[in-house]
Structure 1
Amino acid sequence: MPARSKAQQQAAGAALAAKRGEISPSELQGASKSMYESMSEEQLREFAATKRKGKPEHVHK
């Protein structure tokens, strides 16, 4: 499932970096912290790899 917005893609990238040990999980906040706790590395990789072109900054529910 691809990211629906640029913000979601960026949050997934931060969570993925924490999963890989590139940054400390304590540095995460908000959506990236939630994604880190609830998603696998494979799911995060898929979200983070989404192309940003044509995506809105944020998607409102």
Structure 2
Amino acid sequence: MPAKSKAQQKAAGAALSAKRGETKKSDLKGASKQMAASMSEKELHDMAATKRKGKPETAAKDD
């Protein structure tokens, strides 16, 4: 599942880092905290690895 925005991609990267033990899970906030709890490492990797070119900074509310 590719990221729909740069912000979503950054949150997935932070959650992936915590899942791998590179950062503390207690440092996560908001969406990244929820992503770490509800998504697998593969899902997070796929979302974080999305190309940034052409992505909006934030996703539209109706998506």
TM range (shorter): over 0.9
Residue equivalent to 1:2: 2
Report how many residues are paired: 61
Residue 58 in structure 1 maps to residue 58 in structure 2: yes
Residue 60 of structure 1, CA deviation: 2.1
Tell me the alpha carbon deviations over residues 4-52 of structure 1, each in whole angstroms, 9 at most, x when there is no partner.
0000000000000000000000000000000000000000000000010
Q: Runs of 5+ in structure 2 lacking a partner?
A: none
Distance 2:16 2:59 in 1: 21
Runs of 4+ in 1 over 2 A off after TM superposition: none
Identity among equivalent pairs (%): 69
Question: Which residue matches 1:25?
Answer: 25
TM-score norm. by structure 2 comes to 0.94
Query: CA RMSD, aligned part only?
Result: 0.5
User: SS of the counterpart of 2:57?
Assistant: coil
The separation in 2 between residues aligned to 1:52 and 1:38, in whole angstroms, is 23
Structure 1 runs not aligned, ≥5 long: none
Mapped to 2, the partners of 1:37 and 1:18 lie a distance apart of 10
